[in-house]
């Protein structure tokens, strides 16, 4: 494709993205009270006043919403505007932020993937779910981006070909990115813990390369050190106000209720947003209390309901389900076709495969378990893990011997290069004919 034509196509897609996201924000997202948007706006106003010397400073987000996105919103609020004006302004700036995030993702994709796979992945991200959530005053898109950057950096740390200096700098970057993601939404602790345990365990078991073993153990320590260093101001405030370093009302209390109506009259009524809730210790929800009061059958039913919610909402709402099914089907076909290569890859990449498996299982079941309390279902939590999944599948499609796999269908030879082009065509057709009607009838603030 000629450079001029490529530039024109990118400009047309970007213009359509901004126009469609703006119309969605104007016509579909009309209530700031819905989707916790008024809470984010309130946080942004509090950050503004904290920046301007208010004493004592307000604790941002009631330890439910996190402070990084509030700082972004504070850039666009001034005391002379109304909440309605701030709502419209914040929606516009969130759309612009989403465009910047997509543009930043493109060179990351391109570093690991060929051009056609990068185009496909960008179209899926941009028009499969970013466009549906761009016109909202919510932190999700920033979190999705930071989570993915953390994920890629952690995957990089498993690459034994990297020298010590490159390995250690990536470890620091991974820890800092994880902390930034956590300051956007408090959902990074399981990811960091799983990575650390798998990485340290696999490094400790590798006795054939002593120098590499030490370098990887140092890298694991640097990830944790950078993570805690960036988080330290937030953690110190947590300890001072709430008595615990990693205090967040969702993971500390709310997830252990049976549903949101129950949670809405629990610790929240006893000051959990301004300090440790003033309740008898035996009434505080927690893992031990939950396991004691619920049967295994009830727990399994709760998780099964959450898993079904993830499937049903994915079908009903955004536009990522069809490409996801297509990518998974291609992956299965490739793995069956290249069975010998699969066995060799499993043997060579046990550590990273273990990490991916534990990470995926922990989050999918955690999301399913949390679904009854979320009030909005599983979608906004599930989407955070779509890009890592699509990215891993894209890596599979573009690595040898999988990238040169061919099939014979009705006497015709079908290659992976042709499949990539077919995916591009399908995605472009969906953008042209499918995105607009779905976008104008789907509320994306959940």
Give 193-209 pLDDT, tens digit per residue: 999 999 999 998 887 77
Q: What's the whole-number mean pLDDT along residues 49-76?
A: 92
Which residue has better confidence, 4 or 388?
388
Whether residue 1 is predicted with pLDDT greater than 70 in this model: the reply is no
Q: Are 122 and 40 in contact (CB under 8 A)?
A: no
Rounded to whole angstroms, the Cα distance separating 190 from 181 reads 13
* Residue 413, strand partner residues: 408
Q: Strand, helix or coil at 136?
A: coil
Least confident of 239-243, 321-325, 372-376: 372-376
Rounded to whole angstroms, the Cα distance separating 446 from 443 reads 8
Work out the pLDDT band at 63, boundaries 50, 70, 90: confident
Q: Are 134 and 21 in contact (CB under 8 A)?
A: yes
Rounded to whole angstroms, the Cα distance separating 371 from 360 reads 17
pLDDT digits (tens, 9 = 90+) for 338-347: 998 999 899 8
Q: List CB contacts of 58: < 8 A, sequence separation 6 or more.
A: 46, 49, 50
Closest CA to 252 of 345, 186, 296, 304: 186
Q: Are 108 and 149 in contact (CB under 8 A)?
A: yes
Q: Half-sphere exposure (CA, 13 Å, Cβ side) for 162?
A: 19
Tokens of 91: 């929606």
Tokens of 267: 């610790």
Q: What is the pLDDT of residue 373?
A: 93
Q: What is the pLDDT of residue 412?
A: 85
Please give the DSSP secondary-structure letter assigned to residue 411.
Answer: T
Rounded to whole angstroms, the Cα distance separating 231 from 225 reads 10
Q: Are 171 and 219 in contact (CB under 8 A)?
A: yes
Q: What's the whole-number mean pLDDT along residues 333-337?
A: 94
Tokens of 360: 């995926």
Q: Which helix (H) or strand (E) holds 143?
A: helix 140-157
Pairing of strands 412-415, 406-409: antiparallel
Q: What's the whole-number mean pLDDT along residues 164-190?
A: 96
Which residue has better confidence, 90 or 56?
90
Q: With b meaning 16 or more CB within 10 Å and e meaning fewer, what string describes 10-35?
A: eeebeebbbebbeebbeebbeebeeb
**With the C-alpha atoms ordered 197, 198, 200, 204, is the resulting torsion angle positive or negative?**
positive
pLDDT digits (tens, 9 = 90+) for 84-133: 999 999 999 999 999 999 999 999 999 999 999 999 999 999 999 999 99
Q: What is the pLDDT of residue 60?
A: 86
Cis peptide before 401 (omega within 30 of 0): yes
pLDDT digits (tens, 9 = 90+) for 11-42: 999 999 999 999 999 999 999 999 999 999 99
């Amino acid at each position: 494709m000629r450079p001029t034509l490529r530039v024109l196509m990118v400009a047309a897609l970007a213009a359509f993205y901004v126009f469609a996201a703006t119309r969605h924000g104007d016509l579909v997202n009309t209530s700031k009270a819905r989707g916790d948007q008024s809470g984010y706006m309130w946080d942004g106003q509090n950050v503004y006043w904290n920046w301007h010397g208010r004493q004592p400073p307000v604790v941002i987000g009631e330890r439910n919403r996190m402070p990084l996105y509030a700082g972004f919103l504070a850039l666009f609020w001034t005391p002379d505007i109304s909440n309605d004006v701030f709502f419209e302004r914040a929606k516009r700036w969130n759309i612009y932020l989403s465009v910047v995030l997509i543009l930043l993702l493109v060179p990351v994709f391109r570093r690991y993937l060929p051009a056609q796979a990068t185009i496909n992945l960008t179209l899926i991200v941009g028009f499969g779910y970013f466009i549906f959530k761009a016109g909202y005053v919510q932190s999700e898109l920033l979190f999705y981006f930071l989570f993915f950057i953390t994920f890629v950096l952690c995957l990089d740390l498993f690459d034994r070909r990297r020298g010590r200096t490159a390995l250690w700098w990536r470890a620091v970057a991974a820890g800092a990115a994880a902390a930034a993601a956590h300051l956007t939404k408090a959902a990074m602790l399981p990811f960091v813990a799983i990575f650390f345990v798998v990485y340290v365990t696999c490094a400790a078991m590798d006795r054939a390369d002593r120098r590499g073993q030490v370098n990887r153990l140092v890298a694991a320590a640097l990830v944790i050190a950078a993570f805690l260093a960036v988080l330290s101001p937030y953690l110190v405030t947590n300890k001072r106000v709430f008595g615990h370093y990693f205090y967040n009302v969702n993971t500390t209390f709310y997830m252990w209720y049976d549903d949101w109506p129950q949670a809405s009259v629990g610790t929240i009524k006893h000051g959990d947003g301004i300090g440790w809730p003033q309740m008898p210790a035996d009434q505080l929800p927690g893992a031990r209390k939950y396991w004691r009061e619920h049967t295994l059958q009830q727990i399994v039913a709760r998780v099964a309901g959450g898993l079904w919610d993830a499937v049903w909402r994915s079908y009903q709402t955004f536009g990522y389900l069809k490409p996801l099914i297509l990518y998974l089907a291609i992956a299965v076909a490739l793995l069956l076709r290249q069975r010998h290569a699969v066995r060799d890859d499993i043997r060579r990449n046990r550590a990273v495969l273990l990490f991916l498996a534990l990470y995926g299982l922990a989050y999918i079941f955690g999301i399913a378990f949390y679904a009854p309390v979320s009030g909005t279902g599983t979608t906004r939590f599930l989407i955070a893990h779509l890009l890592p999944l699509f990215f891993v599948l894209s890596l599979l499609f573009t690595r040898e011997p999988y990238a040169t796999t061919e099939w014979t269908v009705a006497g015709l030879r079908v290659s992976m290069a042709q499949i990539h082009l077919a995916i591009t065509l399908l995605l472009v057709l969906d953008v042209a004919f499918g995105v607009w009607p779905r976008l104008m009838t789907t509320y994306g603030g959940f």
